[in-house]
Amino acid sequence: MSGRPLRVGLVCPYSFDVPGGVQFHVRDLAEALIARGHSVSVLAPAADETPVPDYLVPAGRAVPVHYNGSVARLTFGPVTARRVRRWLAQGEFDVLHLHEPVTPSLSMLALWIADGPVVATFHTSLLRSRSLQVAYPLVRQSLEKISLRIAVSEDARRTLVEHLGGDAVVIPNGVWVDTFDRAEPDPRWTGTTQAPTVAFLGRYDEGRKGLPVLLRAVGHVLDALPGARFLVAGRGETGQEQAREILGDRASSVEFLGGVSEEDKARLLSSVDVYCAPQTGGESFGIVLVEAMAAGAAVVASDLGAFTRVLDDGEAGVLFRTGDGDDLGATLVRVLGDPQVRERVRTRARRVVGRYDWSAVTDQVLAVYEMAVAGRDAPVGEDPSSLRGARLLELRRARGGVSGGVNA
């Protein structure tokens, strides 16, 4: 069967109304597969009025739920289950690829309902997770349906092994490397020797993204480089308030750009002297580090395990102690003041990023698909026992065992 076009069903648990890392991963994988001649349909939460690609089937509006240190938008319930059944029946998929199948949303429903060649990708990295502890009884038997498992990093693989058992092959998140490599610098964001620029991307009001850590470092940098500028891109309500509280009059050195398009993100990363990733935890990979490396920015990142591995044990970027604003400030002063350090890590980064290009990642995913299909000759269909999981969930809800109010 090697090389023949496949009918692939991708399920994303998180809403495309407010896209994030998993949604972008699913979107890019779908487009990479389509470019190779495969037929792909994506099922994901999205409101009817949300613009979505032609290959995406909206599964309805989602409900915001606190999950893994941020707010995830999920959808569940009997109406959603009917949509999953209809999508599966119409799709006649050779392989079903679920993302985050233990998150109480579409992927969990699809895992209960489907039978046949099933691949699952696990994105989450947590030292301990109440959410996974609650979800495990709901999916324990259904996990046996998964033909092959993928983890996006060693950290995500460890979370899977420790919380759910079993193992997974590690296939990293993908990046369109050429898109970032070819991005033209923007004069608005380009630094100079006297006024270097540092970029940060992430939600302002998610503590684990580390904006307060960066803000605590700003003063140290301005003491050494008074003209330095900090360009903060992302969404949230509290960014400027945090900057004023921590920096006072020096808050004017921090420019809040708001949400930026994918094109502007690439231009921003190609313009700045340093991309700073001050995250404090909950990161299984670090896709924006790869994007910054591909765009030619020198990366300064917290020494989380996932970031250390992406940065080739610190050879393709410069690491600082996680959560330590003073250490970040000293590290930024050193990197911004030493062109040789920046060139050294950028040179190493250019050699590293190829392993994350979608051309390499898609090859690995397709190899997994081929093994899954070879092991299960029948196409994806409905599991006759698929109502069991829904009944179990309703029982746990009635006993107060599932939080978040996810229902559709």
Interval 215-228 mean pLDDT: 97
Given pLDDT bands bounded at 50, 70 and 90, which one contains residue 60? confident
How many Cα atoms sit within 13 Å of 95 on the Cβ side?
Answer: 28
Instruction: Kindly report the average pLDDT of the chain as a whole number.
Output: 88
CATH topology of domain 7-174+357-398: Rossmann fold (3.40.50)
Residue 354, Ramachandran bin (φ over 0: left; ψ between -120 and 50: alpha; else beta) = alpha
Nearest to 225 by CA among 329, 363, 351: 329
Phi, psi (rounded to 5 degrees) for 275: -100, 130
Domains 7-174+357-398 and 177-356 agree in fold: yes
> How far is the CA of 169 from the CAs of 122, 224, 268, 357, 365, in angstroms?
10, 46, 33, 18, 10
Tell me which of 112 and 381 has the higher pLDDT.
112
Q: How far apart are the C-alpha atoms of 357 and 344, rounded to whole Å?
A: 21
Is residue 289 within 8 A of residue 301, CB to CB? The reply is yes
Tokens encoding 11: 């399920």
Alpha-carbon torsion, ordered 317, 320, 322, 328, to 10 deg: -110
Instruction: Answer yes or no: CATH 3.90.1150.10 is held by domain 177-356.
Output: no
Secondary structure (3-state) at 73: strand
Contact 220, 305 (CB under 8 A): no
Instruction: Give how far Cα 250 sits from Cα of 89, 160, 217, 333, 335, Å.
Output: 59, 44, 12, 17, 21
CA–CA dist 363, 30 (Å, integer): 13
CA 126 to chain CA centroid, Å, is 14
Mean pLDDT to the nearest integer, 36-47: 95
DSSP 226: T
Reported as a pLDDT band with limits 50, 70 and 90, residue 404 is very low
Q: Which residues of 66-105 are buried (b: 16+ CB within 10 A; e: fewer)?
A: ebbeeebbbbbbeebbebbbebbeebebbbbbbbbbbbbb
Mean pLDDT of 154-167: 87
CB 317 within 8 A of CB 311: yes
Q: Is 167 helix (H, G, I), strand (E, B) or coil?
A: coil
Which of 32-36, 158-162, 207-211, 313-317 has the least mean pLDDT?
158-162
Element (H, E) at 299: strand 298-302
Nearest to 4 by CA among 362, 379, 364, 366: 366
User: 52-61, 74-83, 93-102, 360-369: lowest mean pLDDT where?
Assistant: 74-83
**Strand 7-11 relative to strand 95-99, pairing:** parallel
Q: What is the SS3 assignment for 249? A: helix
User: For position 209, what pLDDT does the model report?
Assistant: 92
Residue 187: per-residue pLDDT: 96
Tokens 């995406």 appear where?
56
Alpha carbon dihedral 321, 125, 16, 311, in 10-degree steps, equals: 50
User: Dihedrals φ, ψ of 194, to 5°?
Assistant: -80, -25
- Strands 254-258 and 229-233, by their bridges, are parallel
Answer yes or no: are the C-beta atoms of 267 and 235 closer than 8 Å.
no
Chain segment 4-26, per-residue pLDDT in tens: 899 999 999 998 988 788 999 99
Write the DSSP symbol of residue 33.
H
Structure token pair of residue 189:
């964001």
Tokens of 123: 């994105």
| Extents of the domains making up the chain | 7-174+357-398, 177-356
- pLDDT classification of 77: cutoffs 50, 70, 90: confident
